[in-house]
A = this chain, B = another copy of it.
Amino acid sequence: MAAVKSPLSDSDLKVVGEALQGALIDLIDLSLVAKQAHWNLTGRNFKVVHEHLDEVVAIARAGQDDVAERAVAVGVNPDGRARTVADRTQLPQLEAGYLDDDKVVAAITDLLAQMISRFRERIKATDEPDQVTQDLLISITSKLEKQHWMFQAQT
């Protein structure tokens, strides 16, 4: 197969591709970080936070698929391999071992705030080149900001 013929110009495609690839790394690592905390959590709020983290995982996994398929749909190959994620992720990483619930809530709050900031830049960057991609990024940002509020409210 020849590369998917893009509905976008080359320069627009470059901007859009970078936004989507960046979002993909953010979302894959968010799912890995949230699962790591889901498994190693301790503390009086264990049960609630344990289950809340799985809601974050679900959002992150659904977002990954939408973002990666959007990339290939406009003609850019998404890269979600383990090495790529590990090398390019900008998310602060959790320590190994048991994780205290309060610290997890603080860490997720902080991590989401940083991701939201990057997603808002991507929304701006794609406004001209591709409103279809932008609409997807807006929708994911909306979910991230809702989770950010819910985690911050517990701190």
Q: Which residue numbers of A lie inside 8 Å of B, CB to CB?
A: 1, 3-5, 7, 28-29, 32-33, 35-36, 39-50, 52, 61, 64-65, 68-74, 77-83, 85-87, 89, 93-94, 96-98, 102, 113, 116-117, 120, 123, 127, 131-132, 134-136, 138-139, 141-142, 145-146, 148-150, 152-155
For this complex, 10 residue pairs linking A to B, each with C-beta atoms less than 8 Å apart, are A5-B113, A7-B145, A28-B32, A36-B80, A43-B153, A45-B154, A79-B96, A82-B82, A86-B86, A132-B145
Q: Which residue of B lies closest to A134 (CB)?
A: B131
Please give the count of copies of this chain that the complex contains. Answer: 12
Question: Contacts A135-B135, A154-B46: A73 and B149 contacting too (C-beta < 8 A)?
Answer: yes
* Of the residues B81, B96, B135, contact of A36 by C-beta under 8 Å: B81
> Could you tell me if A39 and B7 are in contact, using CB atoms closer than 8 angstroms?
no
> Could you tell me if A46 and B153 are in contact, using CB atoms closer than 8 angstroms?
yes
> Could you tell me if B117 and A7 are in contact, using CB atoms closer than 8 angstroms?
yes
Question: Chain B nearest CB: distance from A114 CB in Å?
Answer: 11
| Whole-angstrom CA separation of A146 from B129 in the bound complex | 18
> Could you tell me if A131 and B136 are in contact, using CB atoms closer than 8 angstroms?
no
| Whole-angstrom CA separation of A83 from B96 in the bound complex | 11
> Could you tell me if B39 and A68 are in contact, using CB atoms closer than 8 angstroms?
yes
Determine the chain B residues whose CB is within 8 A of the CB of A93 once the complex forms: 81-83
* Of the residues B136, B139, B149, contact of A72 by C-beta under 8 Å: B149
